[in-house]
Amino acid sequence: MRDFRDLLVWQKAHRLTLDVYRATKSFPAEERFGLTAQLRRSAASVPTNIEAAVETASVTSPDSYRSEFKKMLAALHRKLTAEG
């Protein structure tokens, strides 16, 4: 099984998460449980979902990775558009 940390998409998502955490440090204290928490949870969910897809996929070919990622992205898109 391939290590999810080797995937460029995971690395970029992880970097984005770290950037969001840094950026939200300067948000007002009254936003700690509102906007700050929501942004952090949203950012952290992307690399977490990528990790879950890699670990749960029964990988027999590169196509199975793509298929699993497409399912995860579709689920994430549905969730984001429902919350929007």
Sequence ranges of the domains in the chain: 4-83
- CB atoms < 10 A from the CB of 72, how many? 18
pLDDT in tens, 9-49: 899 999 999 999 999 999 999 988 899 999 999 999 999 98
- Torsion, Cα of 59, 63, 68, 71 (10° steps): -160
Is the separation of the CB atoms in 24 and 39 below 8 Å?
yes
Reported confidence tier of residue 1, pLDDT bands at 50, 70, 90: low
Q: Mean per-residue pLDDT for 40-64?
A: 79
Q: Looking at per-residue confidence, does 61 or 52 come out higher?
A: 52
Reported confidence tier of residue 61, pLDDT bands at 50, 70, 90: low
